[in-house]
Amino acid sequence: MTARKGYLLLENGSVFAGKLLGQLSPTSGEVVFNTSMVGYDQVISDPSYAGQIVIMTFPLIGNYGINRHHLESDTPWLRALVARELCPESGCQHYQQEMRLDEYLQDNNIPCLTGVDTRALTRMIRTRGTMGGVIVDSLDAKEELIKSANLGLQPPPEGFVMQVSRKVITHLGSGSSKRIVLMDFGVKKSIITSLLRLGCEVLIVPAATTASEIMALNPDGVLLSNGPGDPLNCPYAIHTISNLLGKLPIFGICLGHQLLALALGGDTYKMPFGHRGGNHPVKNLQNGRVFITSQNHGYAVNKDSLKDPDLELSFINLNDNSVEGLRHRHLALMSVQFHPEAAPGPEDTRYLFDDFMTMIA
């Protein structure tokens, strides 16, 4: 792929120069960073990054190419990728490689800005919070471009979740164990694989599926998936979950965790720069164990908003004490802010899928 001079212009007017690979038109979005050292292929294919320009803080990416088996969705939804260095063609020699990273980005019309001082860029975001940004090949009409950077924070008219969610029901698995309805808010393939590995029959339904439609499928439990954007932009999902409470066992992951908290009367807030990476420590409040987890979210549950006396915290984040998990003393429900399926990251908390099966049983 041919490179040319390129720039990332932030809404505060800061400019980071580099080499631009990919499309010519300006690309705007919310600028966020991910601290994972490996798993760039799973990061860029995670639907939760819809609408975002993703910075990889690890300095060299692309060294093992792309294998479609490892991708988390068929279509990547991020707006653009920013890296310090992409592995040169001569360095991509992994035996599982099907194509180079730059080839994958080009095939999916995702611009990539390389040669950027990602350390300085990440430090700025950690200090000032996530910002809108725009990737361009010219800084002419800078004031207009700054307006474009601000517009990059706006979701599409239908919302990010409706943009990435599937439109029809998908039926997977033989059903030799339990029938699980998986509400698709932007689900990663690894979550689906985790359920299939346990022998579940999985019915993946669109995000706007109603409670009555879910009950008509006669499931044993419901899993609320991860997904992009502000949970308050999904009132249809909150309404559905509210009508399922007490009727079926429910397990919420990431955005699903936030939506479950909202359905239980809680509130959420936007974090300064979110949690994105495979090295976030959380503490299990039931037994005191600490786990290193994979995370990808920019919103969190407000602990003080949880008024139900029977709703208890199950996990907290050891870096900032944010809510990482919920359980109910009487209702069959559980949720976690982190990703027990990892991909990328540690799989220490994969046992939570087994806990969900036990809850159903």
pLDDT tens string 308-332: 999 999 999 999 999 999 999 999 9
Under 8 Å between Cβ of 259 and 252: yes
pLDDT for position 175:
64
pLDDT for position 202:
97
**Count, residues in the chain:** 361
Q: With bands split at pLDDT 50, 70 and 90, how would you rate the model's confidence at 250? A: very high
Q: Give the mean model confidence (pLDDT) for residues 92-117.
A: 93
Convert 204-230 to b/e letters by CB count within 10 Å (16 or more is b).
Answer: bbbbbbebeebeeeebbbbbbbbbbbb
Mean pLDDT, the chain, as a whole number?
Answer: 95
- Strand duo 112-114 + 80-82: pairing: parallel
pLDDT for position 40:
97
pLDDT tens string 56-82: 999 999 999 999 999 999 999 999 999
Q: Give the mean model confidence (pLDDT) for residues 325-349.
A: 96
Q: Which residue type sits at 141?
A: A
pLDDT surpassing 80 at residue 1? no
Under 8 Å between Cβ of 106 and 62: no
User: Which residues lie below 8 Å from residue 358, measured CB to CB, with a gap of 6+?
Assistant: none
User: What is d(CA 272, CA 338) in angstroms, rounded to the nearest whole number?
Assistant: 17
* Active-site residue (options: 257, 280, 328, 339): 339
- Above pLDDT 70, what percent of the chain? 99
pLDDT tens string 192-213: 999 999 999 999 999 999 999 9
User: What is d(CA 353, CA 251) in angstroms, rounded to the nearest whole number?
Assistant: 9
Q: Which residue type sits at 157?
A: P
- Strand duo 268-284 + 290-301: pairing: antiparallel
* Active-site residue (options: 11, 87, 254, 275): 254
pLDDT surpassing 90 at residue 23? no
Report pTM.
Answer: 0.96
Quick check: is 328 catalytic? no
DSSP 121-150: HHHHHHHH--EEEEEES--SSHHHHHHHHH
User: Which residues lie below 8 Å from residue 141, measured CB to CB, with a gap of 6+?
Assistant: none
Quick check: is 92 catalytic? no
Peptide bond into 206 cis (omega under 30): no
The residues spanned by each domain of the chain are: 3-151, 160-360
pLDDT for position 177:
77
* Active-site residue (options: 11, 85, 324, 341): 341
Q: With bands split at pLDDT 50, 70 and 90, how would you rate the model's confidence at 24? A: confident
End-to-end CA distance of the chain: 53
Fold classification of 3-151 (topology level): Glucose Oxidase; domain 1 (3.50.30)
Under 8 Å between Cβ of 115 and 18: yes
Which CATH number fits the domain 160-360, given the four candidates 1.10.150.120, 3.40.190.80, 2.130.10.10, 3.40.50.880? 3.40.50.880
Quick check: is 144 catalytic? no
Q: With bands split at pLDDT 50, 70 and 90, how would you rate the model's confidence at 89? A: confident
Residue whose tokens read 């900032």:
320
Q: Give the mean model confidence (pLDDT) for residues 96-100.
A: 92
pLDDT surpassing 90 at residue 118? yes
Between vectors from CA 340 to CA 337 and to CA 346, what angle results, nearest 5°?
A: 115
